[in-house]
Amino acid sequence: MEEVITNSIRKYAVRNAHEYGSANSASVMSKIISLFPEVKNDMRALALKTNEIIKEINLMKASDLDALYAKYSEEFLSEKKIKDE
């Protein structure tokens, strides 16, 4: 799987876990499919990679999750501004 897709899975898993207490595979996969429609061609690989990353994210301490969320916060803010326009 492409690195950009893997990084996006991680980013949205972190966001989902930060907002809801734990990351949800279906929510993250839905977001990734909306961003990268071509991943529908290999849903098995997407599911495996998403579940692997979500397992890792959900095992993180809250402080580590907050630090990782802070790393992506600029991107989340810019996405929100675009969405609000």
Q: What does the pLDDT look like over 54-63, one tens digit per residue?
A: 999 999 999 9
- Round the average pLDDT of the chain to a whole number and report it: 92
Instruction: Give dist(CA 68, CA 17) in Å, integer.
Output: 11
Counted domains in the chain:
1
The boundaries of the domain holding residue 28 are: 3-84
The DSSP 8-state label assigned to residue 59 in this structure reads T
pTM, whole model, 2 decimals?
0.88
Q: Which two tokens stand for residue 44?
A: 């098995």
What's the farthest any 2 CA atoms get from each other in the chain?
36
